């Protein structure tokens, strides 16, 4: 039978959307190229560095050489698996700041201010850390906190307070600014991805069909989307829809699919021999991300995870997790954090910290020899903008990704502030008994020029790409979708994923991506109403 809705992409937003549409009684077909998420590397939180570096679960994208980062090409992991990037990410749960969403609204995204999105953040979660009018208690997504048994976690929070910032007991609640416990999508020792929270309940409804295939393009009849062209088992097919098609394929693959379907910058499409259906220059533009560096220190006490960073130690951690779903393997080890302003002139936090009781790269390949710890730190609202572009009209070809990192001069000023403020935090009494020599960037790196050279060589993506199908007013020539998430210039087609973000939000993007899927469902079902102010 022809489904009511066809969704492309079983990621954070796509799973939430599929759940809500089937819950409302609709038949849905969900197209996903990736396979099962039933892997210890995905389900075990402590193994988070593995799936994003495995071709089985990751699309394997990378950027063009980034000229402001010394010509380096940076990896751009995106989930190629049920659950999408929620199955390969660091499981950190950050809603964003209320002023992020008010900025969206003020830039033409009517109905996407904080008062509008808060009900969806509450609807999507079950919060396990107390009671609060700002938090949800009955949603599919379990949100928890680590036990912070390692003394370094609380020492970092205390150091932030000693350096002059407040403590926040819930950065996802009323007050984001400050240092406090970090939250995660982990439940009973397992990764609680969008596949766990939304996809499997939707499949149990009997109204969802998950189709493993490569989406090639959207097909139109009289300017209305009526089918998705797919390839599976070497054959090209069409999956028709009774009502609408929704693209939830990521901020990399969604603009690629739009352009392959004739929606995008007209000149660019014509260069690749693609008929222009809707000339939308915003498709694939406005690409944003968070960059970060790792500030690393030697530890004077042997309390870090380095104790377990060997074959025997990893084996013990893995066995305990397999048998009981407890121990170090049951945590992503991001259990304390901070959100601060770089100066009093900034009206809300523009720097984020993830603290980790180990000195190691995110990919797990370059552990520092000996005990150490680190803070991941970076600016939240870079002014640099990049693009996603086609390299050909071949749907199998990876797109060209150019973030244009650090192309705005303010980015350098903000990053220097990150490094200097981090040193102030680690120089506080709370860290004195643990703090050894600064490993990276190293105490000798002090001047603007020396710090810039360090950033140029060592800054890494935090893996938060977004913005490539921007949400805005229907008459905005740079917008791609209107406030109802309908693609401007065609009918029967919407976008619901991090592509729509007009500007990147504070912190990790999994939570606002899931919120987008939740809210998209109400727009599609005609249920959205502006909510009362809070």
Domain boundaries, the chain: 1-139+191-284+467-528, 147-181+291-379+407-458
Q: What is the dotted CATH code of the domain comprising 1-139+191-284+467-528? A: 3.50.50.60
SS3 413: helix
> What confidence score (pLDDT) does residue 364 get?
60
How many CA atoms does the CB half-sphere of 354 hold within 13 Å? 26
- Phi, psi torsion values for 460, nearest 5 degrees: -125, 155
Question: Which residues are the active-site residues?
Answer: 464
- Under the banding of pLDDT at 50, 70 and 90, the label for residue 1 is confident
> What confidence score (pLDDT) does residue 132 get?
96
Among 291, 340, 282, which Cα is nearest to 480's? 282
The Cα-based distances of 396 to 246, 343, 393 in angstroms read 20, 46, 9
Query: Mean pLDDT across the stretch 334-352?
Result: 96
> What confidence score (pLDDT) does residue 528 get?
79
SS3 271: helix
> What confidence score (pLDDT) does residue 531 get?
60
pLDDT at 365 over 90: no
Query: Mean pLDDT across the stretch 79-89?
Result: 98
Q: Which two tokens stand for residue 240?
A: 């028709």
| DSSP string across 316-329 | HHHHHHHHHS-SGG
SS3 239: strand
What is the pTM for the complete model shown?
A: 0.97
* 103-140 pLDDT tens trace: 999 999 999 999 999 999 999 999 999 999 999 999 99
CA distance 418 to 420: 6
Looking at the chain, the whole-number percentage of residues with pLDDT higher than 70 is 98
* 366-422 pLDDT tens trace: 557 789 999 999 999 999 999 999 999 999 999 999 999 999 999 999 999 999 999
pLDDT at 11 over 90: yes
> What confidence score (pLDDT) does residue 309 get?
87
Please, what is the average pLDDT of the chain? 96
> What confidence score (pLDDT) does residue 395 get?
97
> What confidence score (pLDDT) does residue 427 get?
98
> What confidence score (pLDDT) does residue 369 get?
78
> What confidence score (pLDDT) does residue 362 get?
61
SS3 for 165-178, per residue? CCECCCCCCCCCCE
CA distance 402 to 335: 32
- Under the banding of pLDDT at 50, 70 and 90, the label for residue 261 is very high
> What confidence score (pLDDT) does residue 367 get?
58
pLDDT at 532 over 90: no
pLDDT at 143 over 70: yes
CATH number for 147-181+291-379+407-458 (one of 3.20.20.20, 3.30.410.40, 3.40.50.300, 3.40.1190.20): it is 3.30.410.40
- Under the banding of pLDDT at 50, 70 and 90, the label for residue 530 is low
- Under the banding of pLDDT at 50, 70 and 90, the label for residue 13 is very high
Q: Which two tokens stand for residue 225?
A: 């989307």
């Amino acid at each position: 039978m022809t489904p009511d809705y066809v969704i492309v992409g079983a990621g954070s937003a796509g799973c939430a959307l599929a759940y809500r549409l089937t819950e409302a009684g609709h038949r849905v077909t969900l197209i996903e190229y990736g396979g099962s998420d039933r892997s210890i590397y995905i389900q075990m939180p402590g193994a988070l560095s593995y799936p994003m570096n495995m071709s089985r679960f990751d699309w394997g994208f990378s950027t063009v050489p980034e000229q402001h980062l010394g010509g380096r090409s940076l990896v751009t992991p995106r989930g190629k698996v049920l659950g999408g990037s929620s199955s390969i990410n660091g499981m950190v749960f950050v809603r964003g700041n209320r002023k992020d969403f008010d900025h969206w609204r003020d830039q033409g995204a009517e109905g996407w201010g904080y008062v509008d999105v808060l009900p969806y953040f509450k609807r999507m979660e079950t919060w396990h850390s107390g009671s609060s009018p700002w938090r949800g208690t009955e949603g599919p997504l379990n949100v928890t906190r680590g036990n912070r048994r390692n003394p370094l976690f609380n020492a970092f929070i205390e150091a932030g307070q000693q350096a002059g910032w407040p403590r926040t007991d819930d950065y996802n609640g009323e007050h984001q600014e400050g240092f406090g416990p970090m939250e995660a999508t982990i439940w009973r020792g397992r990764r609680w991805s969008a596949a766990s929270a939304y996809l499997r309940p939707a499949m149990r409804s009997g109204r969802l069909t998950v189709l493993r295939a490569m989406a090639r393009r959207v097909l139109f009849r009289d300017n209305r989307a009526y089918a998705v062209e797919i390839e599976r088992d070497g054959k090209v097919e069409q999956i028709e829809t009774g009502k609408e098609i929704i693209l939830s394929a990521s901020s990399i693959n969604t603009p690629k699919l739009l352009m392959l379907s004739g929606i995008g910058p007209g000149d660019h499409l014509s260069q690749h021999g693609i008929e222009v259906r809707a000339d939308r220059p915003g498709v694939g533009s406005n690409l944003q991300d968070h960059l970060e560096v790792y500030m690393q220190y030697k530890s004077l006490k042997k309390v870090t995870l380095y104790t377990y960073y060997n074959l025997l130690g990893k084996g013990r951690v893995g066995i305990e997790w397999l048998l009981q779903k407890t121990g170090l393997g049951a945590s992503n080890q991001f259990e304390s954090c901070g959100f601060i302003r770089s100066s009093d002139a900034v009206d809300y936090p523009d720097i984020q910290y993830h603290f980790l009781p180990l000195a190691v790269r995110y990919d797990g390949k370059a552990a520092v020899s000996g005990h150490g710890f680190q803070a991941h730190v970076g600016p939240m609202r870079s002014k640099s903008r990049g693009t996603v572009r086609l390299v050909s009209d071949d749907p199998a070809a990876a797109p060209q990704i150019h973030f244009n990192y650090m192309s705005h001069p303010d980015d350098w000023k903000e990053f220097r502030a990150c490094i200097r403020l981090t040193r102030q935090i680690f120089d506080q009494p709370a860290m004195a008994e643990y703090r050894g020599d600064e490993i990276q960037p190293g105490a000798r790196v002090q001047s603007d020029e020396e710090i810039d050279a360090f950033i140029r060589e060592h800054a890494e993506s935090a893996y938060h790409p977004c913005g490539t199908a921007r949400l805005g007013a229907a008459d905005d020539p740079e917008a791609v979708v209107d406030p109802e998430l309908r693609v401007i210039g065609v009918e029967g087609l919407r976008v619901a994923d991090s592509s729509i973000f007009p500007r990147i939000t504070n912190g990790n993007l999994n939570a606002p991506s899931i919120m987008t899927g939740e809210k998209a469902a109400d727009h599609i079902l005609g249920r959205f109403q502006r909510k009362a102010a809070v």
